[in-house]
Structures are given as C-alpha cells and as structure tokens.
Structure 1
C-alpha cells in the first residue's frame, strides 16, 4: 500500500486540528453525472443501462486498484467504439473541475494539517491537487491503497496517519462515508452543493483555536 506523505509539512504535535477532506463533491466536481452524461451521448446504450453496467462490472474494482485506468478505457471502448482512451480522458478532465473548497485549503493549512481521503484514481485527481500540494500533509487515494470508503479498514489506516488525540474534522459529501468517520471518533461535516460547508469548517477551526493547548 502507498499514499503520499508530504515531507515539507512539519509533523504535528499537541492538539493541532486535522482536516480530512474528500475530493469529489468537496474539492472538485463528482464525475457523475457530467462525465457519464457526455459519454452516453456517443453510446447506443441508454445512460441508465450504461451506468448500471459500470457499477455492476468494474466500479468497485476500479476504485481499489484491481482495474487499471487502461482497462477502464478498454471497457468504455468495448461499449462505445467511437470513444478511444484519449477522447475519454479529455471528457473526464473537462468533467473534473475545481470547487470553491479547493481555494480554502491554503488558509486552512495555516491552522490545521490537511489530509486527503478519496475514492478515486490518483492520476485523475493529481491535476486538481497540484496547486495545493505543498499544503497537504497526507494524500490517501483508494486505488493506491486497495481500499475504499466506507470500509472500516481504510479509516483505521487513515487514523494511523493522524496525531494521537488531535481533533479531526472529516468532510465528505456522502452520508455513508461520514457515518464511518463518526464511528472512529472524528467530527464530521457533509459538503453541500451550495458550499455553505466551507463557512462551517471555518467556524470549527476557529473553535479549535480557542481550545487550551495540550500538555506536553
């Protein structure tokens, strides 16, 4: 298993807050429905059937690294011959666009350690994360570690990356993922489409800054 550890960020001590952030629906748009809507315009199969086949046949394996990106595009091409890997990648990158939460990472990193925990392919999200890479303490992407949310083992893995007893706020757009975060003792916040969660995260960090320092 592997995940990105940013050696440039100092190790945390005491009660420095920890922010654990999803990518899809939090820092960048989800691939569904935009990517699938666009892909389906080139297909003879109805969108609903195409997406159902994807979920049944390869979705789980793709997110945990059992299917490679090349195999994913082969699967797409086998069902939509007019779409090759290069065309598909272009559609995917157009579908994966930054959200306002990404702009908050720089200021949050001054008061908290920032961790990424996402069900995704690392090569797909790297362009999104590149502008804030220096602000990130750890990046855990499901296809690199062979686990996906809401697997309890992935949360245990992530907990081991965090300072002991530090306050943690986990932000995700899916309730099932947040429930597992709460189960390991994290504060949780669901990202909404309007982006009001950003203000909630700011207020949580402000409260944490008022907490007394932990004893050494």
Structure 2
C-alpha cells in the first residue's frame, strides 16, 4: 500500500512511537494525519491534526470517528504497561492494562473498520512472559489474537502486527538493557505497510522468540 496521499490516524501520538508514526507518515506524503491523544494540547508536531481520543472511552472513540472521517490508515499505538504480576499484583491495574491494550484497541478498530490498512503495535511479550510485566504480557497476547482475528474478519484490509522488544520510549524509562531506536522501529513498520506485510518483527530478540514459538507449535 502506498502511503502517499492517504489519510491516517495515529493513537497515542503525543510522544514515543506514536509521535514518530505521525511524523514519518507526513514525511511519506500522507495528506492528512490525525494525531490522537487523551490530551491533544500535548501534541506539538507541525502539520498534523490533533484530536482528543481516550481509547478506553467508547464515547470518546465515537467522537473521534465522527471527526476523523475518511481514515485509510489506522495506527493503533496507544497502550500502557503498569508492571504487574498475576499473583501479587494489583488486579485493578491488570484490568486497566487489558481494558487499554485489548479492549481499547478493539473499540478503535470497530470505529474505523473501513480503513484500508490497520497496524497494531504489539510486543515481543505477546509471545513471552516476564516477571514484573505479566499483566502487560497477557494484554499483548490478547492483542495478538485480536490482530489475527480482525485480519480474518476484514479480508479486504491489510491488518499488520508490529512486534518489538524494549524500545527507547517513556514506557521503558529506567530500563538499563539494550533498547531499539523508536524512529527505526516506525520506519520498519511503515515499510511493512507499504510492502503489504501482515507481521513486522523489529529486532533480533523478537525474531528469536517468534521462531521459538513456531518451533514449539
């Protein structure tokens, strides 16, 4: 799919990967980029159209869909990680992760189901558990299933999953391991859309985990 001249919407576009998505879509010639965030005043990227969107609030999603008409490319980037374990963690926090990463993404997809391309920002933890982030991993495993299911239900659309390990964004603040460059991750993702790819694997660690998953199947 050629992104030049398209109308796109990016959730969570005020920072991190979302801001890079909005910027690089403009650089690839998108005619309109709706940059969505809970607080649109926080969006400081010239050339985009800021809109208010809380993906966990169906009324907010409906308002955004009424405002951002004609969306052809939907980037589901908004998400949270609250660093919860299953046994000792806060159940309400685990529920918030699921409400945001799974149900929030679902709300947005349903509202923009006419898009020609849908990309969900998933995670290596869609396929792997990690002590200290098991609640997040469960929500991303659900989002992986959501991505695959929507692909079956919308056969005329390109539905792409982006899978990545730790990336240098606010979500990974304090992590002292290697981190992906967010601009490079987004470049790979948009290259994937333009190549009609259904999965984009952003780094070697994620590729290894995916290969192990396939090998265990």
Q: TM-score, normalised by structure 1?
A: 0.34
Larger RCO (alpha carbons 8 Å, 6+ apart): 1
**Structure index of larger Rg:** 1
